[in-house]
A = this chain, B = another copy of it.
Amino acid sequence: MDPSYHQSASRVTVLANLFGIIAIILMLVWLLHYRGGIDLDSNKADRIFNVHPFLMFCGFIFFTGQAMMAYKTVPAERTVQKFIHMLFNLIAIVVGIVGICAVFKFHDKQNIMNMYSLHSWIGLGTFCLFGLQWLFGFTVFLVSQASRETRRRAAPWHINGGRALLYMAICAAETGLMEKATFMELQHGRESHLINFLGLAILLFGVTVDLSVALARYI
């Protein structure tokens, strides 16, 4: 492999972390300053809702991105990297479950129907497939007695399946922001611009995480 690859890939993981941290900061400014705070046990319905975007990006998407980059960012043996990859994805799932429960709690409190929007279809569909992907990876690559040949054949589908799921999760995040902004009838204004920059930062996080994985096979 071209030695320049390691340099390019590590630069891209730095960029990905930069966009991820910018997105987390913008998310916190949005939810704490403009939307009244984040609290799952609040009496105010909005604060319960806010747990949802916070955990789905700063928890689910951010951690699964870190898991995908672990093979480049964690300076350790391959088996340790694999374990951290699995662990970060497990944390992403647990946090994601709490984040999804938060929006169902909000809907119950406000008597809003569940699962009617494109956002909810993409989001829950992606999350269920993500759970299956985790189980598949855990079984084939960590605990099973699968032969080296089986693992070699399964790897491209696991890697590309994971990349597809990351993009589907990014689509879920973007449609979620779009739904919220349209519902609140925001147009030009500070909050609207903040949401748009948040959406762009999330998109660029997805693109750069994916690039850090994809470039490995090209350069």
- A residues sitting closer than 8 Å to B (CB atoms) are 113, 116-119, 121-122, 125, 155-156, 159-160, 163-164, 167-168, 170-171, 174-175, 177-179, 181-183, 187-188, 192, 195-196, 199-200, 203, 206-207, 210-211, 214-215, 217-219
Q: Which of B182, B200, B203 has a CB less than 8 Å from the CB of A179? A: B182
Q: Tell me if A187 and B116 are in contact (CB < 8 A).
A: yes
**What would 17 A/B residue contacts be, using CB atoms closer than 8 Å?**
A116-B187, A117-B196, A118-B195, A121-B199, A122-B200, A122-B203, A159-B218, A160-B218, A167-B167, A167-B206, A167-B207, A168-B207, A171-B171, A171-B174, A175-B199, A182-B182, A217-B217
- A31 CB to closest chain B CB (Å) equals 16
- A68 CB to closest chain B CB (Å) equals 14
Q: Tell me if B218 and A155 are in contact (CB < 8 A).
A: yes
Q: Tell me if B118 and A187 are in contact (CB < 8 A).
A: no
Q: A-B pairs with the 8 shortest C-beta distances?
A: A156-B218, A217-B217, A182-B182, A175-B178, A118-B199, A178-B178, A164-B207, A116-B187
Contacts of A122 in B (CB 8 A): 174, 199-200, 203
Q: Tell me if A214 and B160 are in contact (CB < 8 A).
A: yes
Q: Tell me if B203 and A171 are in contact (CB < 8 A).
A: yes
- Give A8 to B116 CA distance when docked, in angstroms: 35
Q: Tell me if B187 and A178 are in contact (CB < 8 A).
A: no
Contacts of A125 in B (CB 8 A): 200
- Give A117 to B182 CA distance when docked, in angstroms: 8
Contacts of A167 in B (CB 8 A): 167, 170, 206-207, 210
Q: Tell me if A178 and B119 are in contact (CB < 8 A).
A: yes
Known contacts A175-B174, A178-B175, A183-B182; A168/B215 CB under 8 A: no
Contacts of A200 in B (CB 8 A): 121-122, 125
